């Protein structure tokens, strides 16, 4: 079965030797081992607001630093994904089909059944210390969001970032989660010794559309507040403006409204990406489209009738418009890598191996549309 590399060696290993008050979750729960998972994974369910109907599968993974397939269009070779499945529940999420590898479905299961690799920090530390590791850039948030709601309780990211910092290994994070601000000082420490790329994902500032297509995420304004806070801390943060959803968020007025608010955060760049509909995602998205916007189904069949991606001419038009608005409102030009680029650091001798050149520091911006955001930690209590 496809769960083999995610096995737990011991049933209920996550809670072994722990007192009741020391376990990850203190809410009433039901711990079972499901036949679906070949051996030993713990399934936890909760009768709490915001998490009702969710199941979290705690597993001890065999690996967590994964090589990107050569055929991938992604501009990086390694990723870390401490979670599989995502409560953000984005209708368009291209990672949906990956849930079918675990013999779960790409629709409701993807939104409500989340695999948690509870030993991810230890695996990262072990990988970075291995003789064959070359210190290559690692991207996070490329499959599902590493700062989704469950991270508020599992707290896997501090250990992962700490291991990357200690190894001075370059990395990047893409997220819709404002919980990244919880780790802002840890990120600042890492940025002193290696290249750290940060981006938040905001495809539109239309609140009605957000509620419909990204029901489990923080509001777009909250994400932009997080971007502003990261930039104010000197951690250059850009915005992945995606997806741009044809006929729903792609008008010039809508694009400019988004870019204007992105500019107000001091974003280092804005990188537009048009909706793409891969297998698994396509069926789920079209089901939503038929229910919510039946009049657009024919137009979508015309636009995506020959594959997962919109025509190149359409993509070029969106990119060109966003570039013009970015220039108009003072945002850096889009860069390659969907926001997973490296940042320059100057190497100096002595105990402090690296430091950021003064010219690379991001000055605190003038007062903007946003106040400093606080972490949006949605607990499982």
Low-confidence ranges of the chain (pLDDT < 50): 1-39, 333-381
332 and 230 fall within a common domain:
yes
DSSP code per residue over 64-88: -EEEPPTT---S-SEEE-SEES-TT
Residue 40: the pLDDT is 66
The verdict on whether omega for the bond into residue 64 sits within 30 degrees of 0, i.e. cis, is no
- The fraction of the chain above a pLDDT of 90, given in percent, is 64
Burial per residue of 256-290, b for 16 or more beta-carbon CB atoms within 10 angstroms, e otherwise: bbbbbbbbbbbbbbbbbbbbbbbebbbebbbeebe
Q: Same domain for 132 and 239?
A: no
Whether residue 167 is found in the same domain as residue 100:
yes
Residue finishing a domain among 122, 139, 172: 172
pLDDT at 349: 27
Provide the number of structural domains found in the chain: 2
Would you say residue 353 lies in a domain? yes
CA distances (Å), origin 287, targets 103, 249, 292:
21, 19, 9
Please name which of 63, 112, 107, 48 lies closest in space to residue 86, comparing C-alpha atoms: 112
Q: What is the pTM of this model?
A: 0.79
Q: Position of tokens 């920090």?
A: 121
Same domain, 232 and 151: no
Same domain (yes/no): 239, 158:
no
Instruction: Please tell me the predicted confidence (pLDDT) of residue 2.
Output: 44
Partners of 171 in the β-ladder: 138, 196
- Written as six digits, the tokens of 308 are 């997962």
- Sheet containing 78-80: order of strands: 65-67, 78-80, 138-140, 171-175, 196-201, 237-244, 270-274
Strand extents, DSSP E, 123-184 = 138-140, 171-175
Distances (CA, A) of 15 to 31, 42, 243: 10, 10, 39
| 35 and 96 both lie in a single domain | yes
Same domain, 253 and 138: no
Residues 167 and 199 in one domain: no
Same domain assignment for residues 116 and 232: no
Closest CA to 145 of 49, 77, 231, 79: 79
Beta strands in 176-268 (DSSP E): 196-201, 237-244
Task: Note the pLDDT of residue 215.
Answer: 94
- Does 65 reside within a domain? yes
In a domain, 296, yes or no: no
155 and 216 together in one domain:
no
Domain that holds residue 215: 195-275+310-371
């Amino acid at each position: 079965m496809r769960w083999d590399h995610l096995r737990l060696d011991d049933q209920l290993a996550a809670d072994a030797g722990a007192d009741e008050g020391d376990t990850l979750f203190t809410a009433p729960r039901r711990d079972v081992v499901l036949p679906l998972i070949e051996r030993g994974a713990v399934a936890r369910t909760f009768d709490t607001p915001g998490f009702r109907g969710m199941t979290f599968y705690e597993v001890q993974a065999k690996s967590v630093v994964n090589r990107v397939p050569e055929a991938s269009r992604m501009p990086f070779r390694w990723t870390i994904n401490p979670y599989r499945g995502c409560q953000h529940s984005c209708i368009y999420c291209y990672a949906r089909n990956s849930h079918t590898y675990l013999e779960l479905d790409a629709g409701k299961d993807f939104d409500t059944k989340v695999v948690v690799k509870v030993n991810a920090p230890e695996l990262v530390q072990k990988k970075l210390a291995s003789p064959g590791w070359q210190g290559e850039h690692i991207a996070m948030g490329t499959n599902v969001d590493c700062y989704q709601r469950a991270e508020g309780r599992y707290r896997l990211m501090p250990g992962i970032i700490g291991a990357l910092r200690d190894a001075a290994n370059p990395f990047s994070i893409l997220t819709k989660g404002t919980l990244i601000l919880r780790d802002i000082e840890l990120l600042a420490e890492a940025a002193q010794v290696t290249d750290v790329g940060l981006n938040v994902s905001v495809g539109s500032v239309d609140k009605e559309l957000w509620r419909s297509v990204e029901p489990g995420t923080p509001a777009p304004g909250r994400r932009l507040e997080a971007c502003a806070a990261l930039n104010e801390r000197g951690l250059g943060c850009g915005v992945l403006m995606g997806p741009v959803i044809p006929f729903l968020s792609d008008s010039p007025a809508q694009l400019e409204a988004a870019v204007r608010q992105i500019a107000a955060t001091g974003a280092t760049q804005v990188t537009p990406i048009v909706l793409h509909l891969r297998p698994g995602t396509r069926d789920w998205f079209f089901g939503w489209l038929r229910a919510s916007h039946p009049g657009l189904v024919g137009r979508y069949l015309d636009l995506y009738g020959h594959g997962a991606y919109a025509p190149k001419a359409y993509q070029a038009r969106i990119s060109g418009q966003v570039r013009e608005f970015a220039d108009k409102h003072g945002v850096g030009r889009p860069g390659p890598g969907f926001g997973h680029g490296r940042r320059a650091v100057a190497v100096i001798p002595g105990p402090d191996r690296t430091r950021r050149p003064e010219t690379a520091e991001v000055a605190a911006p003038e007062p903007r549309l946003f106040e400093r955001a606080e972490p949006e930690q949605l607990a499982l209590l």
